[in-house]
Amino acid sequence: MRPDALNPLFAETQTLDGVGPKLMKPLEKLGLTRVRDLAYHLPERFVTRRAVANLDEAGEGEQVIVALTPTEHRAARNPGRGPYRVLAQDEAGNICALTYFGRASYTAKKQLPVGEKRWVAGRLDRYGDMLQIVHPDHIEEESSAHLARLNEPVYRLSEGLTQPRVAGLVAQALDRMPELPEWIEPGQFERAGWPNWRDALHLAHKGEHEQARDRLAYDELLANSLALLLVKAEGRRRKGQALKGDGSLRGKLDLPFEMTAAQKRSIAEIEGDLHQEAPMLRLLQGDVGAGKTVVALAAMLIAVEAGRQAAMLAPTEILARQHFETLRTMAAPTGIEVAILTGRAKGREREGILMGLLDGSIDILVGTHSIFQDTVNYKDLGLVVIDEQHRFGVQQRLALAGKGKRAPHTLAMTATPIPRSLTLAQYGEMDVSRLDELPPGRQAIETLVVSQERVDDVVAGVERHLETGQQAYWVCPMVRDSEIADIAAAEARYASLKERFGDDVVLVHGQLRSEIKDANMERFAGGDAKLLIATTVIEVGVDVPSATLMVIEQAERFGLAQLHQLRGRVGRGSEKSRCLLLRGNELSETGKKRLALMRETQDGFRIAEEDLELRGGGELLGTRQSGEAAFNIANLEQVQKLLPAAHADARLLIERDGGLTSDRGEAARILLYLFERDWGVQLLRGG
């Protein structure tokens, strides 16, 4: 149950004055559906203004507040096309034009009557020989109304909202904030010199208050760390089953390659975990092509050797079918039964799979989330492997634990290299194994950066490539044309290339019906189609060895992590592979550095670290690709600066300060609910 002290924060936004159905729509677009959301809707920046007696005291480009008296209204010769100007004079006789465009001119007529002094706030600029303020931010009859606007917050908006309206709602929300007990460890709180929680919220909306912002970011990081550590602690308390294989099945594997030292090390770490009764919770990080599937198969064979079953969960049907074929082929010498279950399975086929799981004749099951539906039951599930871990949340992982007679072991895998400084933030409850070397003999992918203006030459090159019998990908950043004219749409590119290459071209994107998407993907994987036009739906898991050319259009619009993942779709066979990055004409310095790094290296872990530096205070690596933003308050700089202390604070609470049953623990329980990490609380008896 949520603590009563938080009820005012979780009241709906509609309980605030002035919020009706019309205003709720733009608020919902911003995710501002509760009072709490508004309190944490922190300003993106602040406008600092200076009150001046006259315009002689102000500099061009400066944000000012000044008293002006309108002397003349000038409408454009062609109404609706040109600007509407109000000429106004300050106390020293200086003339300034207050300039409006569009429908804003109607407001100007009401707010700026000729001959009546008004206090105007806005940015002072020059147009030709005349000073001007374009679309003044505020116009008031009394100077006192501007006092609070000398340092004004600027909030993120959506259509239908204005800065004053959001500021007013935030003020109402802040008035409802209760006093809450302190959850930060006293020593850390004193060393940092932070304000208390309620004061920090108020200060963060009033100005650039670094300590207040850091305090609020720390709270979020502490809640996340504490929840993940509770998951880990609960996992160790739960009774699982020790899985001790005898090596009989693994000994029958006839792999066409020698495993790397990193693969052998990771298998040994996993085997050590499986030998324990406490359920394993381990993350296997492997760069593109590092051989995670072989490690996963070895882990699943240990489970089968121990008389249990294993299941592999994939985020898409395409990836599930690919894993099924790979595992079935590799495991063929062992004689074990590998099956696949997706939403496509119906009738007798589905019944046969369900029966095989129940009677134990199926040893390994591969599938999408359907393999953990209520109707799917196992004879004795011992190990769960989750591929592309970032597509599944902690709560989903917890739900999987209920499928075994006892808690199954869990191995999560990700092909997105994560900087070490962020691993703790996203996977703090997991032990981590890293595949940090590629199998021997894997060829480097030649990466070239080509101007978008040479797209015709690139198409001609694709034609020559296809004539050799090899296949190619062409990746576009969007599905349909957007308002930004230079973004290539997958459907438009597909239409133009199909006109040239005919039925050799297929299209795959997330908005296609699943049966069409799967059929097109199967045509390409089977070699019937030579060129696949796609969005980033192929970012992970697609494995077609004869596809040796990757074209990525508008490459500067992708993050480094995505570019690296997409490039990894080629270079999977014995033939030389190439990746062409088509770039637009207007490249930022960051864009140039990203593309240069892609040319320079294929080391995903190095790319991840450099991407972190290039992003600065932007979003966390990979979160935009996966659609799962880990933090709403803490930015990247704060994560790197504050996370180690927050993690140590969480450990102290669990290991020294009595967990959630102590006085500080009761406060921490409030924190978990405040940041909606209450799945950590639910794990505890009586939580």
User: What residues are paired with 580 via a beta bridge?
Assistant: 448, 551
- CB-hemisphere CA count at 13 Å for 266? 29
Amino acid in the structure at residue 450: V
User: Residue 618 has what pLDDT?
Assistant: 38
Burial class of residue 351 (count of CB atoms within 10 Å of its CB; 0-12, 13-18, 19+): exposed
Residue whose token pair is 């009557």: 113
Which tokens hold the place of 146? 């501007």
DSSP 436-459: -SPPTTPPPPEEEEEEGGGHHHHH
Per-residue pLDDT, 626: 35
Maximal CA-CA distance, the chain: 96
Residues of the chain with pLDDT under 70: 79-80, 148, 389-404, 420-421, 425-426, 428-429, 441, 478-488, 539-542, 615-630, 680-687
Report pLDDT for 441.
65
Q: Is 17 exposed, middle or buried (0-12, 13-18, 19+ CB in 10 A)?
A: exposed
3-class SS letters over 647-676: HHHHHHHHHCCCHHHCHHHHHHHHHHHHCC
Helix (H, G, I), strand (E, B) or coil at 305: helix
Question: For the chain, which domains are there?
Answer: 46-154 (2.40.50.140), 250-435 (3.40.50.300), 446-601 (3.40.50.300)
Amino acid identity, position 352: G
Q: Are 639 and 425 a contacting pair, CB within 8 Å?
A: yes
Q: What is the DSSP letter of 4?
A: G
Distance CA 118, CA 226 (A): 54
Sign of the CA dihedral with 224 first, then 156, 193, and 173 last: negative
The dihedral region occupied by 627, where left means phi > 0, alpha psi between -120 and 50, and beta the remainder, is left
pTM above 0.85, yes or no: no
What pLDDT sits at residue 394? Answer: 60
| Token digits of residue 530 | 């030579």
| pLDDT attached to residue 532 | 93
Q: Distance (Å, rounded) from C-alpha 280 to C-alpha 299?
A: 11
Cα(378)–Cα(404) distance, integer angstroms: 7
Q: Which two tokens stand for residue 425?
A: 């933030």
Contact 478, 486 (CB under 8 A): no
Indicate the angle between helix axes 663-674 and 210-237, nearest 10 degrees: 100
Element (DSSP H or E) covering residue 29: helix 21-29
DSSP per residue, 521-539: HHHHHTTS-SEEEE-GGGS
Q: Helical H runs in 509-635?
A: 514-525, 560-567, 589-600, 604-615, 623-626
Q: What is the model's pLDDT at position 541?
A: 55
CA distances from 473 to 155, 543, 576 (A): 41, 12, 15
For residue range 161-220, list pLDDT tens digits in order: 988 899 999 999 999 999 999 999 999 999 999 999 999 999 999 988 999 999 999 999
498-534 CB burial, b ≥16 within 10 A, e <16: beebeebbbbbbeebeeeebbebbebbbeeebbbbbb
Is residue 427 within a helix (H) or strand (E), and if so which, with residue range?
helix 420-427
- In this predicted structure, what is the pLDDT of residue 403? 67
**Three-state SS string across 411-426, please?**
EEEECCCCCHHHHHHH
Nearest-5° angle of CA 363, CA 364, CA 370? 125
